Structure 1
Amino acid sequence: MSVTDDIKEIVNRETEAWNSKNVNQLISIFHNDMVWPWPPTEKHHNPIDWGLVQGKFNAERWKQGWQQLFDTHDLIHNHRTIKRIQVSDQQDGAFAVVDIDTLWKNKKTGEEMNWKGRTCKTYSLTNEGWKMIHQVGVLDYSNM
């Protein structure tokens, strides 16, 4: 299997984790040093406006956060398309550009939350296999 295939597999494993609301599967893809900045909306391209919702990766804390989302929201749809994969010459780093449209609906209020746009997921090869070490939150590039 090629590195590109490995990266496709981890992107698809993440997608399946969201689809099945499997918090343990989702947590398994993250590098121990992951930090995940998130823009307030898909229109906020300037990182001066971004925040850190979860802080540095902490399996228990992140599990609780994702489980709370899964418990309080229905997943309406989760469409993800890999647009590009780039692998380092050394075969130990990679990124995937992924277009996503993930729609959640709050079970109590009916309010919808849509993660729609483009992400860049960065991976590092570790002794445990490929792990996501960074992701740019969802941004809309349609008018650029």
Structure 2
Amino acid sequence: MVGDKWDALLMDLGSSLHDVATMVRDDGPDGHSFPIAQTDFHPTHDAGTRMSLICIGALELLLSYGDGRARWELDWTDEDVQFVKDVVRAVCTGNSKEVQAPGRIHVEVTLPDGSTVKTSTYEFPFGLVPLPGWKRWGKKT
């Protein structure tokens, strides 16, 4: 059942993103990689950023930004599936901002409706060290 949902999500993303991104699906060496599968979205213009979507069976969807340091951990709810569609399109079309500092990354995405979603990820060990104001002075892309 999840395999059908995964296939439907990727078909929908592939058709809706054909003008802004190339979709690279990894179905594993046997052509079927469940329970874990990954698909990457490579923007077709310079303003966009690569996204990866990983399905961990019926458990969750992991949506990762760029090199994978920033991510959203999502469920298979209709709301989260729509979130995936909106974020992937927005990021691939260049509607995102990123700030990096040692051991941390913050991403802000402007969705098609004008609202924004954010995620911050902290990495061991430097993410444990306080860096006041890092979102102001960190490397912005």
TM superposition score normalised by structure 2: 0.30
Q: Structure 1 or 2: larger strand share?
A: 1
TM-score normalised by length of structure 1: 0.29
1 or 2 for the larger relative contact order (CA 8 Å, sep ≥6)?
1
